Amino acid sequence: MSSFLHQRPLHNVLTDQYPLSPRSQENYQKPSIIFNRTSLILLLSLLIVLGIISPWIQIPQGLFISNNNKNGVFESKWRGYTLQEAAANVAKNNTLIVCAVSEAYLPFLNNWLISIVRQNHHDQVLVIAEDYLTLFKVNLNWPGHAVLIPPALESQSAHKFGSQGFFNFTSRRPRHLLQILELGYNVMYNDVDMVWLADPFPYLQGEHDVYFTDDMAAVKPLNHSHDLPPPGKKGRTYICSCMIYLRPTSGAKLIMKKWIEELQAQPWSKARKANDQPAFNWALNKTAGQVDLYLLPQAAFPTGGLYFKNPTWVQETKGMHVIIHNNYITGFEKKIKRFRDYGLWLVDDYASESPLGRS
C-alpha cells in the first residue's frame, strides 16, 4: 500500500476510495501545501536545525522558571526574614503569642493553633522555627508567621525529656523571649502540648512584669495568693516554664537574663540531665525582690498532673479551665493518646480550622 501511495498523487487515491459527487468535483481544489511532500521535508529539516543550534540559543532569564528556581526564591526569602520584621508583621495590640517548634512537633503545633483560632487570637501567633524545614513548611501555608533565629537546630533532633536534644532546644527559649522584649513587645510563650479552652488575656490583670503558672499538682484554694509560692524541698519553687507572659519592662528582661545565666551555670550532662525549668525557677527566686511577679489562678491554668489525674477537682472547677497543659507524661504517642482520651486532640476532626491545614 505504501509504494502505491508514492506512485500516485494523493488526491487521486482519495477520490478512488471516497468518490466525490459531480458537484464536489467541480468545486474541488488541490490540497493545501501542508500536505505536500516538499513541505514535510522542509518542516523536518527545520526541526533538525533547531535541535542542533538550540543549546547555543540564549533564552531570556525569567521566561521559564523551574520549580527548583521557585523553591530557591521561596527559601531565600524566608531565610532572610528577621525577628524584627516578623514581629512587626504579626503583632496585634503590641502583643505576640509565641511558640518554639521543630519539625517533629508540627502535629502538636496544628492542634494548639486550632484551639487558638477558636479564641480568635491566631493572627498574632509567631512560630519560632528551630529548623529550616519547619520555617519553610509553616510559611508555605501561613506566610510570615514563622521565623528562624540562627543558628538552626537539626530538624530531626530527638527531644525526649531529659535528653541533650531537649536541653539544646529548650535552653534557647529565654534568648528568644529576651530579643522580643528588647523590640518592645508584650509576649506570651506557650509550649505546643497545650490547648486553649478559653481566652487567657482577661486573666493577665494589672501591669506586672512576669505572669506564670504553678507546676505543682497539689490543689490550691480558689482564692489562692498570686505571689511567688515558697520554695520547695530543693530550695526553689516549682513554677512551669511552659506558659509565661512578659511585658517589655526592665524586670521581665532581668528575669530572662538571669535565666540565661542559670542555664549556662547548669549545662546538660549525662549525670545531671538538666532542663530549662529549674533554671527558670532559680532566676525567679534570685530576682524576686526586684521584679513584679504574678501567679495565675490554678483553676484556669492547671498543670497536667492535676487536670488529667484528679477528676474530682476537674468536676468541681468545671467551666473555669482556660489553658490545659499536657505535661506530667513523656512521649509523643502517649501525649496524643491522652489528648484523644479527653477529646482534646482536635486535628483528627478539625484540621481544616488550622491555618496550616493537615501539616
pLDDT at position 19, please? 41
Neighbours of 274 (CB within 10 A): 21
Which burial class, exposed, middle or buried, applies to 353 when counting CB atoms under 10 A from its CB (0-12, 13-18, 19+)? middle
Rounded to whole angstroms, the Cα distance separating 185 from 32 reads: 75
Yes or no: say if 136 and 76 are a contact pair by the CB < 8 Å rule: no
Rounded Cα–Cα distance for residues 352 and 61 (Å): 39
What is the distance between the alpha carbons of residues 190 and 292, in angstroms, rounded to a whole number? 20
Q: What separation in angstroms does the CA of 62 have from each of 57, 70, 77, 140, 349?
A: 15, 11, 17, 22, 42
Nearest in space to 356 (alpha carbons), one of 194, 137, 185: 137
pLDDT at 264: 84
Torsions phi, psi for 112 (to 5 deg)? -60, -45
Q: Contact at 8 Å (CB) between 147 and 129?
A: yes
The pLDDT score that the predictor gives to residue 83 is 98
- Strand (E) or helix (H) holding 125: strand 125-129
Query: What residues form DSSP beta bridges with 98?
Result: 126, 189
Residue reference for cell 547548669: 266
- Per the CB < 8 A criterion, the answer to whether 254 and 290 are in contact is yes
pLDDT of residue 31: 46
d(CA 72, CA 64): 14
E-assigned strand segments in 247-318: 293-295
Q: Is 95 helix (H, G, I), strand (E, B) or coil?
A: strand
CA distance 345 to 335: 9
For the chain, report the end-to-end CA distance as a whole number of angstroms: 62
Q: What is the pLDDT along the chain (359 residues), one digit of tens a residue?
A: 443 333 444 344 334 443 433 333 444 444 444 446 666 667 666 666 555 544 444 434 333 334 566 788 888 899 999 999 999 999 999 999 999 999 989 999 999 999 999 999 999 999 999 999 999 999 999 999 999 998 876 655 545 555 555 555 567 899 999 999 999 999 999 999 999 999 999 999 899 999 999 999 999 999 999 999 999 888 889 999 999 999 999 999 999 999 999 988 776 445 554 567 889 999 999 999 999 999 999 999 999 999 999 999 999 999 999 999 999 998 889 999 999 999 999 999 999 999 998 66
Is residue 149 a contact partner of residue 178, using CB atoms and an 8 Å limit?
Answer: no
CB 144 within 8 A of CB 219: no
Q: Sort strands 186-190 and 239-246 into parallel, antiparallel or unpaired.
A: antiparallel
